[in-house]
Structure 1
Amino acid sequence: MEKNIFKSTVSFLPIGFGLIGASFFFAISYYLSSGFTKPESSTNGDLIAFCILIGVFCFFGLLSLFMIFNIKTITLTNKNLVIERPLLFLKFVIPLENIQNIHEEDYEINSAANSRKITVYKGEKMTIEIQKGKKIVFTSFEISEYDDLAQYLKNIEFNITDNAIIKKDYSNKSKVYSWLLFIFILTIILIYQLLKSR
């Protein structure tokens, strides 16, 4: 009989970054396009460059929305590892006997400002190798109880080599929430200015 060992909840980090990112990029796109009138002296090249700029902002807005739709939940049973993407109605079931190896490494989300690298998020990334050379990757950014899941996978006997020992997740979660708050405030100010200018 199959029984649940672990079930993750939806992580609010990708949802938060996705919503704020989509709002930010779509607000900029709307702000730029709503006040645009083609000057008589401009060429078609200027219009094409402007449309490309708007397209880039819209692309990043859609990419942010995709981050929301791509959220994962993971269920570990005594027989299977089940990965679900609830908003896309996708479900992948991996029998535990198909798992050949597990690797874990550091995972960072970085930003750059004035030629400086700023670490927005620091955590762990786990790669599960299954049959036919396929790999499944998930991170502590996507899974809110990542360290618990890693410990459960470590406790199940997968014949893991010494090079693939699973580490504890020591990510600085307070730092990523401060970034999320900063971006949220910046987005609210942008939307407020947009509404105020109308």
Structure 2
Amino acid sequence: MPNISPPILIKTTPNPMSYFFGAAGVLFFGCIALYIFSSLQPVSNQSTTNTDHIVFYSILGIFIFFSVWSLIIILKLKIVILTHQELIIQHPLLFLKKIIPLHKISNIEEKEFNINPKIKRKTYEIHKGNQCIINLNNKQQIILNSFEILEYEDLMKKLFIANNQSVNNNYEIKNEGYVVLIMISLLIVVLVIFTIFR
């Protein structure tokens, strides 16, 4: 007799905002790193000390690090599938899948999850939402948040019911970072033009 897949209660999609910020980070920090690297030749022709080279490569390394970190954000984006028996977390870009039987979840906790970076004493509101901490019987934790999952609220309500816990009906999830994203995009365009026609 063929195996019948259990009915899916919910299948989430990644929040596009996290894609956009990840891509913007890759391009922004990557462009700055490329610009710094392209200025290596003029620096090398001058009489420079080892300290100058250390400072130069340290700054270059910082921007490369943040560019790679932004790429990892994109690669780690997840799709969550909830059935009556399992919680399945997929990372499609990494070809990874984690299957958690619901009976192995001891409890679920939630707390606020906000992304509000402060730049030059001004706070930019990127995301306001929640983070879920799923505690397993083996003491491991699975963490999900509303910035990476578009249907976070529906997923949590169904997950709480599946785990026989009281449902949180007080959600206020907002993606507010579009203005910041537009500003970063304009900066990227300026950086690309400046690097090409330098």
One-letter code aligned to 2:184: I
Q: Distance in 1 between matches of 2:158 and 2:70?
A: 31
Runs of 4 or more, structure 1, over 4 Å off, are: none
1:98 matches 2:100:
no
The residue correspondences of 1:14-163 to structure 2 (distance < 5 A) are: 14-36=18-40, 37=42, 38=44, 40-156=46-162, 158-160=163-165
Aligned pairs, how many? 192
Counterpart residue number, 1:188: 189
- 3-state SS, counterpart of residue 127 of structure 2: strand
Output one character per residue of 1:111-162: Cα deviation in whole Å (capped at 9) or x when no partner: 1222344332211101111111111001000001111111211332x243x6
Question: The residue matched to 2:116 in structure 1 has which SS?
Answer: strand
C-alpha distance in 2 between matches for 1:110 and 1:116: 10
SS of residue matched to 1:74: strand
Look up the match of 2:172: 170
Q: How far does residue 39 in structure 1 lie from its aligned partner after superposition?
A: 5.0
SS, match of residue 142 in structure 1: coil
Residue number in structure 1 paired with 2:12: 8
Q: Is the 8 A contact 1:75 1:83 kept in 2?
A: yes
CA RMSD for the aligned pairs?
Answer: 1.7
In the alignment, the residues of structure 2 paired with residue 52 and residue 136 of structure 1 have an alpha-carbon distance, to the nearest angstrom, of 34
| Secondary structure at 1:141 match in 2 | coil
- 1:50-72 superposed Cα distances (whole Å, 9 cap, x missing partner): 01110110010000000010000
2-11 or 117-126: which moved more? 117-126
Bigger share in helix: 1
2:45 and 2:52 map into 1 onto residues whose CA distance is: 10
Q: CA deviation at 1:184?
A: 1.7
Structure 2 CA distance for aligned equivalents of residues 169 and 186 of structure 1: 34
The percentage of counterpart residues that share the same residue type is 32
Amino acid at match of 2:57: C
TM-score (norm 1): 0.90
Structure 2 unaligned spans of 5+? none
